[in-house]
Structure 1
Amino acid sequence: MFELLQTDTQTAARLGRLTTPHGVVETPVFMPVGTQATVKALDPRELEEMGTQIILGNTYHLYIRPGLEILQAAGGLHRFMNWHKPILTDSGGYQVFSLAQIRKIHPHGVEFRSHVDGARLFLGPREAMAIQRVLGSDIAMVFDECPPYDAPPREQRLAVERTLRWARECREQPRAEGQQVFGIVQGGTNAELRQYCARELVAMDFDGYAIGGVSVGEPEPEMFRAVDMTVPHLPVEKPRYAMGLGTPAQIVELVARGVDMFDCVLPTRVARNGTAFTRRGAFPLKGGAYKADFRPIEEGCDCFACRHFTRAYLRHLLNVNEILGLRMVSVHNTHLYLKLMADIRAAIRAGCFEEFRREFVAGYVPSRRVLSARAAAGLER
């Protein structure tokens, strides 16, 4: 299911090929987030044209709306949303974290108050796997507990024990035909807990492994530290997935640490607020400085938005609340992430990834606006 094709000689970066029932995914890969059966503001044709290989859906949100009855009648998530390439579904475990005010943790799962209407519902490992079986995703994630990064040590340990107990239960559940299941390593910034959680999950022999408990409000150095604590304890022959990450520069750094798969809401989230990514950082396109700027969002970019529209025009659309504006910035931002991954794969293949990494990171200026959006991702993820 996963074939390791090449490892960089100067870093831990890897080229791989992940085979699923709906197609082959070349790694490292970025997965646009389609939480509620759509990548916000983009349609499947646009996603395919910009080279999207796989997208992400969310078990919790799809369970609430449109509900399992509709998804089952539609023939699964692929048919429902007319997306014929691979899909990975998050288990809903992240909502244990993001919905902390309206949930209660029990030994066999989590009792929720729906964020939509307050209705009481229960989600645990059995329920999460049953929902993902109906969805028919190519990759299903185990149900886990993601505590805040600064949770006390006792809380972190309890979360790891629950995560492992729930992972064993998920492992025993029936799955859709050809569906792979990934385990999720928790443990916050505690090296001992990370190692313990990874070791126990590897012993369960999942199809791949995710690094959880990152992008939950922690400072960037702590995020890198959590990944550094985890990757050495994951099997070389299985795919590695950093959940909910990150900015372009963070992704480049994490590829160098041996991570293969990424998802993040940032490209479309910040686009809806008028922020555009470039390979040198992000900028607020609504600003007055771009009122008469007739350049594309980024010189040299071949996305549809940059080929057809100027900064001045897109700024105008954003400031008068025209939908085309946020759609085109979403197109550009998502295209940039996907093109970055293609360039990363090419650099690894050519044996020059470390040079690519140094140049990219040195030229990228982080944006406080973007980092704030990452920390506030919440329900959308």
Structure 2
Amino acid sequence: MGYVMSVVNIYVQHPEEGKVVAKSSARLGSLSEFTRIPEVVLETPLLLLHTRGAAVPHLSHDLLQMVSTGNHILQMPLVTLVDHTKNVKAFGKGIADFSGSKEYLNYVPIQDSGTATPEGYHEKNSISLWTRGGRKVVDPQTYMTCIEALKPDMFQAILDGDTTSSSSVKRVKRSVDDTVKFAGICADLKEKSEILKDTPMLVCITGGYNIKERLRCITELKGLDAAGYVLEGFHTNGESATNLSWDDMEPVLTETLGQLPANLPRVFHGPVTPTILLKLVSKGVDIFDATFPWLVAERGGALVFPNSLTKGNAYVTETLPSLKSSTLIAPDGKDGSSENENGKEKIVDRVYEIYLKDRLYFNDTRPLMEGCSCYCCRKYSRSYVHHLTTISELQGPILLMMHNLHHYINFFRSIHLAIKEDQLEALQSTLEEFVTSRR
């Protein structure tokens, strides 16, 4: 069973009829036959390596090779590249060659799912991108021109995903109307483009937490030649994704996923917590991104949650220091984060990590995580990383990012194995026990 194009076959294999895997709808599958690197086969559930400006944050090409030598797809948000598309177009060979990462496949979404997207900036025929140079208004035609310049291996159709659990019915309906309209324009321009006509395009399912609107979005997008679906509109990126309520999401996801074609991949962007991620996998979501390990590294944290069924995390007994989240202010002075209304700041949940800036680690000679085989854990101690982070030495976030990304890649290997061996529920239980113990 699979999705077949002249360019790419995207397969999502299901268990034999009548057999249930891990008492859930978790899926195993593969992405293959991309034009630029046709020999690469990537198994799902899949982790996209998050980049900013086409590079994994804090890691050079050589350092990334020290983390993983496997095949990966690089997630390259347009918001971090839009200021450079003219140079990439002049270069003529696409973003893969331009960025020196041609051995990796790449996928271009619109927003950086690791960074909060300011809310409330709505235009009738365009969306807003918040770049280093300020706000840029982009319509579908301009967007597709940028995509043509970048020549990605896969890209996301433009959308209006500015909804949360508190969005009004009017805002939710508008997001669906605009998303469907934008997707139709992108599909038409893609078909007419000699550069993009064979490039897989993922369309977006919006509608906030309104089941009726999400099902309407699916219905109105069915005529398009979609290579897969991105589940958008549950959060506004950044830390809003780490605070998702599963009780609010679950009924919406169940209805939405039940109406999507079984043979196409489903993508969920954002730094969701490992607990929510496993629940999304169990519901049948196939592809995620590595924004969570980056977000943790940015705040001086090292991931220590159990990333396999092997238990060995009882040594993590530290108390959980709280840390206020930063407020994102838009260039015009408007608060860009709904999580910081009325001057109140959210508290970051550090249950999956240890905070290396804490003086607790001043003389701690242990590695970041016992049993971890990453470069940082093999070479350096917690006390050394504590020293680097407290004096803001550049090597600090480099070592944390190497550890966190290594940890998360292994987490996905464990997820794949758990589904295959009917152990996903056991992996969820192991993680939940750890979270409970730390709380």
Whether TM exceeds 0.5 here: the answer is yes
Cα pair distance change 1:117/1:148, threshold 3 Å: same
Report what 2:160 is aligned to: 145
Equivalent runs, 1:86-235 vs 2, <5 Å: 86-92=105-111, 98-100=117-119, 103-106=121-124, 108-110=125-127, 115-118=131-134, 121-149=136-164, 150-173=166-189, 174=193, 175-176=195-196, 178-216=198-236, 217=240, 219-221=244-246, 222-235=248-261
* Structure 1 letter corresponding to 2:107: L
Cα distance, 1:45 vs structure 2 = 3.4
**1:88 partner SS:** strand
Cα distance, 1:360 vs structure 2 = 2.5
Q: In structure 1, list runs of 5 or more residues that go unmatched.
A: 369-381
8 Å CA contact retained: 2:13, 2:263: no
Cα distance, 1:258 vs structure 2 = 0.4
Once the two structures are superposed, residues 43-83 of structure 1 have per-residue CA deviations (whole angstroms, 9 ceiling, x without a partner) of 2333344246111111133112x232345416211111111
Q: Which has the higher strand share?
A: 1
Q: Which runs of 4+ in 1 moved over 4 A?
A: 92-95, 365-368
Name which of 9, 12, 24 aligns with 1:4.
12
Cα distance, 1:214 vs structure 2 = 2.3
* Structure 2 letter corresponding to 1:276: A
* Structure 2 letter corresponding to 1:341: F
Cα distance, 1:118 vs structure 2 = 4.6
Name which of 248, 256, 259 aligns with 2:282.
256
Cα distance, 1:122 vs structure 2 = 3.6
**1:38 partner SS:** coil
Name which of 77, 87, 97 aligns with 1:69.
87
Cα pair distance change 1:86/1:52, threshold 3 Å: same
* 1:16 lines up with 2:29 in the alignment: yes
1:260 and 1:193 map into 2 onto residues whose CA distance is 22
- For normalisation by structure 2, the TM-score amounts to 0.76
1:219 and 1:356 map into 2 onto residues whose CA distance is 20
Cα pair distance change 1:172/1:13, threshold 3 Å: same
* Stretch deviating more after TM superposition (213-222 or 328-337): 213-222
Cα distance, 1:365 vs structure 2 = 5.2
* 1:269 lines up with 2:295 in the alignment: yes
CA RMSD of aligned residues (A): 2.5
Cα distance, 1:269 vs structure 2 = 2.5
Equivalent runs, 1:222-371 vs 2, <5 Å: 222-280=248-306, 281-364=352-435
Once the two structures are superposed, residues 19-38 of structure 1 have per-residue CA deviations (whole angstroms, 9 ceiling, x without a partner) of 12333221101112113111
Number of aligned positions between the proteins: 362
* Stretch deviating more after TM superposition (210-219 or 149-158): 210-219
2:88 and 2:437 map into 1 onto residues whose CA distance is 42
Cα distance, 1:195 vs structure 2 = 1.2
Once the two structures are superposed, residues 255-293 of structure 1 have per-residue CA deviations (whole angstroms, 9 ceiling, x without a partner) of 111010001422122212211111252121111111111
8 Å CA contact retained: 1:31, 1:52: no
Cα pair distance change 1:191/1:67, threshold 3 Å: same
Cα pair distance change 1:37/1:367, threshold 3 Å: farther
* Structure 2 letter corresponding to 1:336: H
1:178 and 1:24 map into 2 onto residues whose CA distance is 18
